[in-house]
Amino acid sequence: MKTESKSCVGQVVSYAAPPGEATDSDYAVTVNGQPIDVCFAKTQHHDKKYFFAYFDFSGEVEVQVTSTVPLANAVVRPQACGVTLRAKSAGSLVLTATRPFKISIERDGVNSPLLLFGNPLETDAPTRDDPRVVYFGPGIHKPGKIELTSNQTLYVAGGAVVKGGVEARGENIRILGRGIIDGSDYAHGAGPTPFMLIFQKCRNLLVEDVIVRGSWLFTIAPCGCDHVTIRNVKICGSRVDNDDGIDIINSSDVTIEDCFLRTDDDCIAIKGLGGYDRKNCENIRIANCAFWTDRANIFRIGYESDAGAMRDITARHIDVLHFVSDDRPPDTFWSNWVLYLQPSNNMPMSGLRFEDFRVNAPGHNNLIKVQPMICKGWQEVVGARFIDWEYKEPGQCVKDCHFKDIRVTGNPGNHPGCVYVSGVDAQHTVDDVTFENVDRFGERISEVSRDVTIGPHTSNIRFLRGV
């Protein structure tokens, strides 16, 4: 059921959770005095659980959060979220907002946080009687596998929980709505679709507004696609291993914006896999997103490199809420990083820009790694097939790469944030990499900074100091 309320300063639309979905055991939320149902999500880390709630609004709203655990020391992340903390006591928080937001309210660090998603008002929702629309209204639905083809829309209304996965092929496909697509009933790697939302050679694809919870493997995977937009999507993952948030696989002209991802594995991975004619990964834009990984990397680019090239990739205005402390040596293959660039299979990688990152560090941190590598093989699921692969060569090169306005705060631990750049040999090199205004705990890095390593077979590695 959808509930609307209006006041002189704001409008609020809330959606009742289906029976059995709402929980009041940890948190209660009101917006302009209107109750908002709180839902549950699983993680295999920390204290094994967290919570989320969502609503739509316009104008100015006041959000009150109460908790069974004291909130006096609670933290709201990210800081640059458009939400103002008006009051805080042992029993409650009061927040105000005038624009859409996605935040994590953390009363006990990473244990049992509340994720709160304030959406813009919904407009132009499709209708149930449109023959081109696969429509799920409020309530719990168990379709298992949902197949979409050209000119179809999947609509998940606010208050709906759709248990299953999506496999789509064709052109002009959309997935919309304020509701939840849920994979929590399926064991690791055993869902009705290979990846939870898998798109095979689609063109003009839009995924917007939905919440995706509890994937069994990769969560959203455009494979061999062109012209993809993923906007205002919220991923509540970290339930199982290998639940990468968004994997861009042999796809081009991809935009990811205004998304919130919590995952066990990599938040964003850019891959080339067999079955897509070595199609380039190129013209990829990621902006205005918040990321949280419990086990792996924020960005991992090039681990699987069955592509002609990876190029023209930009990420801007990114908040890293949490990532993994890592005490393994920086040249170790399975080390974890905020930004991990590791082309394999003699593939070239070029034209990458990472700008305006705000990183909350856990201590003993790895920040940026750039190194062609021979990536390890394992059994990979591609479409409905399993393949084994192992590359024989590192990536050909990484070149024309720019890191600008990267700011690390939080806990420096024993290391303030490792930066590691290295080639392999004269045929597998790193060239033309710029670090501009990369700050760790108030100190701007240079080539002589602690935990900054510029290895062999590199050239034109620059450290710039702006204003």
What is the rounded CA–CA span in Å between residue 286 and residue 314?
A: 6
pLDDT value of position 390: 72
Residue 383 has pLDDT above 80, yes or no: no
Radius of gyration (C-alpha) of the chain in whole angstroms: 22
| Higher pLDDT pick, 364 / 196 | 196
What is the rounded CA–CA span in Å between residue 421 and residue 370?
A: 5
What is the rounded CA–CA span in Å between residue 368 and residue 361?
A: 13
Alpha-carbon torsion (332, 419, 43, 287), positive or negative: negative
pLDDT value of position 357: 98
Pick from 117, 128, 83: nearest CA to 209: 117
Helix (H) or strand (E) holding 234: strand 234-236
Query: What is the mean pLDDT of the segment spanning 82-87?
Result: 92
The answer to whether 207 and 231 have CB atoms below 8 angstroms apart is: yes
pLDDT value of position 444: 97
Q: What is the pLDDT of residues 430-449, one digit of tens each?
A: 999 999 999 999 999 999 99
441 C-beta neighbours (distance < 10 Å), count: 14
Mean pLDDT of the chain: 94
DSSP state of 121: P
The answer to whether 119 and 140 have CB atoms below 8 angstroms apart is: no
pLDDT value of position 278: 96
**Fold annotation for 133-464:** Pectate Lyase C-like (2.160.20)
**Length in residues, the chain:** 467
pLDDT value of position 387: 52
For the chain, the first-to-last Cα distance in angstroms comes to 52
pLDDT value of position 90: 92
Residue 147 Cα distances to 153, 177, 215, 384, angstroms: 11, 17, 17, 14
Query: pLDDT class for 327, splitting at 50, 70, 90?
Result: confident
What is the per-residue DSSP string for 362-374?
Answer: -SS-EEEEE----
> Hunting for tokens 């059921």 — which residue is that?
1
The answer to whether 68 and 90 have CB atoms below 8 angstroms apart is: no
DSSP state of 165: E
What is the rounded CA–CA span in Å between residue 50 and residue 276?
A: 37
What is the rounded CA–CA span in Å between residue 338 and residue 325?
A: 10
> Can you give the residue ranges of every domain in the chain?
2-120, 133-464
Using a pLDDT cut of 70, give the percent of the chain over it. Answer: 96
What is the rounded CA–CA span in Å between residue 447 and residue 430?
A: 15
What is the per-residue DSSP string for 243-308?
Answer: --SEEEES-EEEEEES-EEEESS-SEEEEE-TTSTT--EEEEEEEEEEEEESSS-SEEEEEEE-SS
| Higher pLDDT pick, 5 / 335 | 335
Residue 142 has pLDDT above 70, yes or no: yes
**Fold annotation for 2-120:** Dex49a from penicillium minioluteum complex, domain 1 (2.60.350)
Residue 380 has pLDDT above 60, yes or no: no
pLDDT value of position 379: 52
**What does the block give as tokens for 84?**
């103002």
